[in-house]
Amino acid sequence: MKRFFNHIDLDRTPMDSVAIDDDLKLFTIDNLADKSLHNEPRKLTHAVIVMCTSGHCRLKINLKEYEVESPQLITLMPGQIIEPMGHSHNIKGYAISLSKRFIDILNLPGWQRQYMVMYNNPVVDIDSDKLTAIHFFYAILYRAAENTANPFRLQVIENLIRVFYYGGVSSLDSKQRDEYIYKNSVVERFFELVQEHYRDERLIGFYADRLCITPKYLSKLVKEHTGRSAGEWIESHVILEARALLQSSDMTIQQIATSLNFPNQSFFGKYFKRATGLSPKQYRQSK
């Protein structure tokens, strides 16, 4: 153990990338000035935690634009849609990518709440003390991941992440993030259900039945705790998915309508135009 910690150099961020199958990848962000980045939106299959230590960048997350100025922490969740918009020549940082399968294995308590917090507010400021702590955690995690001789390295990493989650996640919440924590357990469960079923179920009654309450009471609770109605939240998930597919996939409008469980292309078109003011075809052409 002593040798392991002596091997960690806190004054030097590891520069190489390291990966364990599809579950975990650690990599640095550096020298991007001469590299061409594909500025096309794409839907994430992994969670990605990015610590921006130098420079700045612009990106869209779920079609909302963010200006990232170092030092800031970016937490991207599976299912979110990201689109790089540009960066400074001196952009630097490091990132951790975690598969959904690996996150499920971790079985972190209160994860769904933290998921919604980070999903809705992915960029936060980091002070010098937190920056040092994150740097230390990344260095330890990197050394554990690169130790291929250890047959238990994935288990070591699992426990390192749990320690960081238990001891560090709550301290990373800003006041801005706190406002997204839904204290009502019914509302929390509603968001879990929407995240799981929005592609197939758009009626409030479905979610109210699952929660054993009336649609009217569900709408009242959600409105009180979030400022938006239950129907608006469901629709926003559906429209965001539709926009991403129209922007970044080769799927036909009929295929997109089918994937979102609309009875036909015409019904999907009316639903989309009511929400955005454009037909799916007009939206795709405008982009």
Q: What is the pLDDT of residues 194-231, one digit of tens each?
A: 988 999 999 999 999 999 999 999 999 998 887 888 99
- Assess whether 173 and 232 both reside in one domain: no
- The residue from 178, 199, 231 where one domain ends is 178
Verdict on whether the full-model pTM lies above 0.75: no
- Assess whether 40 and 131 both reside in one domain: yes
Q: How many domains does the chain have?
A: 2
- Assess whether 109 and 152 both reside in one domain: yes
Alpha helices in the chain (DSSP H): 2-6, 100-106, 111-120, 128-146, 153-172, 175-178, 185-197, 204-211, 215-226, 230-248, 253-259, 265-276, 280-286
| Span of 8-12, 26-30, 146-150, 170-174 with lowest mean pLDDT | 8-12
- Assess whether 227 and 90 both reside in one domain: no
Residue 4 pLDDT class (50, 70, 90 cuts): very low
